[in-house]
Structure 1
Amino acid sequence: MLTVPVRQLGETERGAVEKLLDLDPIASAQVAEQVAANGLSWWRAEGRIFGYGARRRVESLCWFGGHLTPVLADAPAIAAFTELLAAEERICSSIVGRADAVLDLWGRLSPHWGPARDIRPNQPLLVTDAVPEIAADPEVRLVQSTEVELLLPAAVAMYTEEVGVSPFAEDGGIGYRRRVTDLVRTKRAYARFVDGQVVFKAELAVVTRRTAQVQGVWVAPEWRGRGLAGPAMAAVVRDALARVAPTVSLYVNDYNAPARRVYERCGFRSAGTFATVLF
């Protein structure tokens, strides 16, 4: 039996959840997008959200779906979430969020859920609310619905390079193709095409009223080191700030020095550190 105040939250507590998410809007963007789209009713949402704290005074959150994401979770909250989650079958493909909470959570859950396929303990979380000073690449634009098949090979290459497995491995790519198509349909996918081939791509994978989170940034191998990424990212940031959200955010592996230099040139500043545990 649980000895700490943790429980699954429902729609009646949506207001409290939204106030908590607003306390850390950049780090909690993935959860905030889900709550805004589907609420907290388990039959509508793509996951469950657990709360730590007395009723009507929720202090911390934990989203449990395709990803596991703790929000504003200190050590007592992590201990409470662990007690609940340790008895659950792992359904998530990753644990992602602020590094201190993610690494504490994984340290406690690993005897029950381990092993992990990869652990990335230091991923700078970055944000900007200013138009980049460097010139934007005029050839970077939103991908059109007729160009999904052109975008898909680049998206698969990026995913495989970044995550270490193909997105086609589990269901033949049905879910991933649907995701890429949806990003294009909602005007959240950017690319630069040269002779019908994608040489740069990026997506606004998460969008809330507070931020647009960029993911899937990729440059074709033969185009790397040619100064393409900076102006291309500047084009993405400019459009996202003008059209989508008041800030643009992302997180990056600490060892990816070229990408970090690009983001610095585009005006991104630190908003903390993320960590990711991949299964």
Structure 2
Amino acid sequence: MLGSSMSTTRVLEAADLEDALDVLDRDPVANAFVAARVQVAGLDPWRLGGEMWGWYDDAGLLEALCYAGANLVPVCAGPEAVRAFADRARRQGRRCSSIVGPVEPTSELWSLLEPGWGPAREIRACQPLMTATEPCADILPDPRVRRVRRDEIELLMPACVAMFTEEVGVSPMSGDGGLLYRARVAELVTGGRAFARFEDGRVVFKAEIGAVTDRACQIQGVWVAPDRRGQGLSETGMAAVVQYALQEVAPVVSLYVNDFNRPARAAYHRVGFREVGAFMSVLF
């Protein structure tokens, strides 16, 4: 227990795991990405892929977190915690490729970091967070959407690279030649969390379940081949992935999407997703 008149922030350690999980559990959907990593890796920075910063209130209680790895992600952070995390981030210097999280704390965090870290390559100020808790009754799941097998990773990679480049604006193959990205794709395939529809040896629809906890999971990487768009593949494909996720993974399926991507938002609504909040992403 810390002093009664001193709030503080520090890097969390193994002994703080239970308290950290309690914070993450306050919003299982919004915190799914960070919670999934912590449940697998604990708080050891090497296994976690970054540090977990904790903010303690005046009573010495852990009230907020910030994951500081490839992404900087505020968790349950009010204004005071955000200021403390921004101070630590400024002192450390930018090591992340993005800041991602619920709109309010992420916006506050960026406003404090922008003078030293800016300009950003791109800011996505509103990305609706959507959830589904039951299979869609109106759209039949595509029976040809299935788990990708390990021997199909090379067939899946071009679609993954195209999706990433289209979504983020840079190729995941730059820098290390794509070694880390390929490893991540292989991890998802090996874990049975990559899904696709193949036609004539190529992917025409794909999606992955990127984050998994016992409370919620998060779909990512939804992509339809450009020449097959507008034909309903995203809806029937997503219906198939959602059905699997609800049956075998978690009781709540979530995703977040750019607000300007109206076709995707409409498709997700038709598949049964509803908006429950919003994220913000700052890309470097």
- Residue 15 of structure 2 corresponds to residue 12 of structure 1: yes
- Look up the match of 2:275: 270
The counterpart of 2:72, out of the listed 63, 68, 90, is 68
- Look up the match of 2:49: 46
Provide the C-alpha distance between the structure 1 equivalents of 2:49 and 2:221, rounded to a whole number of angstroms: 21
- Look up the match of 1:86: 90
Q: How does 1:143-182 map to 2 (within 5 A)?
A: 143-182=148-187
- Look up the match of 1:105: 109
In structure 1, stretches of 5+ residues that fail to align are none
- Residue 214 of structure 2 corresponds to residue 204 of structure 1: no
Q: How does 1:186-205 map to 2 (within 5 A)?
A: 186-205=191-210
1:48-97: CA deviations, max 9, x gaps? 11111147511111010011000111111111111111111211111101
Q: Bigger shift: 6-15 or 184-193?
A: 6-15
Provide the C-alpha distance between the structure 2 equivalents of 1:56 and 1:189, rounded to a whole number of angstroms: 42
1:42 CA displacement = 2.7
1:31-52: CA deviations, max 9, x gaps? 1011111111234321111111
Provide the C-alpha distance between the structure 2 equivalents of 1:85 and 1:173, rounded to a whole number of angstroms: 27
Q: Bigger shift: 157-166 or 46-55?
A: 46-55
In structure 2, stretches of 5+ residues that fail to align are 1-5
- Look up the match of 2:146: 141
Q: 4+ residue runs of structure 1 moved beyond 4 angstroms?
A: none
Contact 1:192 1:199 in 2 (8 A): yes
- Look up the match of 2:129: 125
- Shift in alpha-carbon separation, 1:141–1:268, aligned structure 2, 3 A: same
Q: How does 1:219-238 map to 2 (within 5 A)?
A: 219-238=224-243
Contact 1:7 1:52 in 2 (8 A): yes
Provide the C-alpha distance between the structure 1 equivalents of 2:7 and 2:248, rounded to a whole number of angstroms: 44
Provide the C-alpha distance between the structure 1 equivalents of 2:114 and 2:200, rounded to a whole number of angstroms: 47
The counterpart of 2:39, out of the listed 36, 39, 49, is 36
Provide the C-alpha distance between the structure 2 equivalents of 1:42 and 1:148, rounded to a whole number of angstroms: 29
Q: What amino acid does structure 1 have at the position aligned with 2:135?
A: V
- Residue 63 of structure 2 corresponds to residue 59 of structure 1: yes
Provide the C-alpha distance between the structure 2 equivalents of 1:214 and 1:171, rounded to a whole number of angstroms: 26
TM-score by length of 2: 0.95
Question: How many corresponding residue pairs?
Answer: 277
Aligned to 2:65, what secondary structure does the other structure show? strand
